[in-house]
A = this chain, B = another copy of it.
Amino acid sequence: MASPPSWVKALKPAGPQGSELIQQERNRSNLNVDQLSHFLFTRDALERKHRILAVLQQEKVFDKSQNYFAGRIDRFETALARAKKLRQLVTKHGWTQDDKMIANELISEPGPYGLHESMFLITLRDQGTPEQHERFLRNAEQYRYIGCYAQTELGHGSNVRGLETTATWNPDDKTFTIHSPTLTSSKWWIGSLGRTANHAVVMAQLIIAGKAYGPHPFVVQIRDLNTHQPLENIHVGDIGPKFGYNTMDNGYLLFNKVKVPHINMLARFSSIDPKTNKYQRPASPSLVYGTLTWVRSTIVMQAGGVLARGVTIATRYCAVRRQFQDRDAPEWEKGENQVLNYTTVQVRLLPLLATTFALHFTGKAMMALYNANQAKMSQDAGKVGGPQRGAGPEETNAGSDLLADLHATSCGLKSLASFTAVEGLEVCRRACGGHGYSSFSGIGPWYADYLPTATWEGDNYMLTQQVARYLLKTARSVLKGIDPSTNDTTYILSTFLKRQDTGAAFDVLNKDEDIVAAFAWRSAFLTFEALKHRDEQKKPWNSLLVDFYRLSRAHSQYMVVKNFYE
């Protein structure tokens, strides 16, 4: 684009200037901004962020100014260059995992090593034996192996048990044959697979002597380490353009009877004895929780920040944007009104502003719960881990009540928090009028990249069934007289049972704790209603899904309100 002529360069915006207006708004607030940010994020984290930002800003490759102009191929190449540079910076500055997460947040786009650094490394770590750590994890940590997590297939996402890829045990040469028997068994949507990865953790139906044992994780090399060409009998590629997430190479993958050695089945929890050819069962069924609960908790933790970006952009813009004179404004008040003053703008943005805080504290509480649980589990080693995600309704088996509570909490809050952020971002975009539609508003691309969070790691609609399942189970225990103080859920259900006949009155206008209690009451009421439908009236599960959805929402809202209050 040619540089604008000098008469254009000389032009100024009509007054008052945006910077003046925003300063004026800021002057009107008596909030101590530093104090608030330290309270929200801690001084330490903020300093660290500034330090990392300064390092990134030194590197030309992280310049964002051309992001929205580039087509998909250029964007992907830049994303790859950024991922590589980041990796070098991590080594150079000795950044921790937390430092790297901050850097990723600042870079603000999905990167092609994204799945390597999350699901691939974590799965190897959590599910590999020490011998497998030696064989695979070391190479992965040094980025010699770049990996991805290949679970979803063209035909199956939510229903993991329905996966069609097979891994057949060959007792003769002690290998597994990985195979794609149908078109629908193509691995699909796999992040970092399309172009980047040379290895994959492949979830496949384990078959021993003609008998199927369900999906298990296998490490499979898919590209040559030197030429980066697909290995023989492997068909792999990029799945093509998407609504967003175009800096990530989501890919597909098919196998034509590919053999891998015995060590390639991740064997910390279940394995095959190569001598007897016998399957060894996982120690505890609660294994299903580990990784997934962590991933969901992270989504809950991030939702507030994701939404905050949109709310900040929209609120600032609406403070600066002026349109129309207020028709009831006094004579002496000249000029147009800041659109933030219109009540139909406020009613859209201000509740979302409050929501960012509520989500922030909920995210912190979710992580604290997760960490507390981890600490407890590590005393009791060997019982956690396992990424077999997305079991069907009512079929996961709670190992312990704390674990089950954690699992249900993470499901319900993941669903509520990510929907709230997704929908809130679009409200923010629209509040900016026409300019919200420009990529330069920053909200649209951010929304488009975040959108799949509503679908992955458990589709948000389906996760509500997990919450309902847990609440029904807990309600049954409460009816059977379990100790009300077992956890918060048993407590609120027991309280409801005790008081349901006398009823309850909440002073929601004057007492904040009564607001929390009212939300708890609603959740408990809906739980026992659902239980009546299911256990007394024997209604089919499917006929209750909409009730379950509402129940899960109610329960999760209770948790958000509680965390905001606390």
Contact = CB atoms under 8 A, between A and B. Distances in A.
Interface in A403-441: 426, 429-430, 433-434, 436-440
Contact of A342 (B243, B345, B445, B542): B542
B159 A243 contact: no
A1 B237 contact: yes
Given A158-B324, A182-B12, A455 B430 contact: yes
Interface in A334-356: 336, 341-345, 347-348
A563 to B, nearest CB: 26
A156 interface: yes
A360 B494 CA distance: 51
B328 A542 contact: yes
Contact of A157 (B188, B323, B454): B323
Interface in A154-188: 154-159, 162, 164, 180-186, 188
Contacts of A154: 13
Interface stretch (A3-11, A118-126, A478-486): A3-11
A464 B342 CA distance: 13
A342 to B, nearest CB: 6
A241 interface: yes
A182 B7 CA distance: 10
A70 to B, nearest CB: 8
A41 interface: no
A182 B10 CA distance: 9
B182 A241 contact: no
Q: How many copies of the shown chain assemble into the complex? A: 2
A546 B343 contact: yes
B243 A444 contact: yes
Nearest to A257: B7
A376 interface: no
Given A4-B235, A328-B541, A546-B343, A183 B437 contact: no
Contacts of A324: 158-159, 162, 392-393
A287 B157 CA distance: 57
A72 interface: yes
A75 to B, nearest CB: 10
A68 B549 contact: no
Interface in A21-71: 68-69, 71
Give me the 7 closest cross-chain CB pairs, A-B, nearest first.
A71-B71, A243-B444, A241-B439, A344-B545, A11-B183, A68-B241, A14-B182
Given A241-B440, A437-B452, 9 more contacts: A13-B182, A71-B72, A162-B336, A240-B439, A243-B429, A328-B540, A344-B461, A434-B452, A437-B455
19 contacts: A13-B154, A13-B155, A14-B182, A14-B183, A68-B240, A69-B240, A239-B438, A240-B438, A325-B392, A326-B541, A328-B542, A342-B545, A343-B544, A344-B546, A430-B455, A433-B459, A434-B452, A437-B452, A437-B455
Interface of A: 1, 4-5, 7-8, 11-14, 68-69, 71-73, 152, 154-159, 162, 164, 180-186, 188-189, 233, 235, 237, 239-245, 254, 256, 323-328, 336, 341-345, 347-348, 392-395, 426, 429-430, 433-434, 436-440, 444-445, 448, 451-452, 454-456, 459, 461-462, 464, 540-546, 548-549
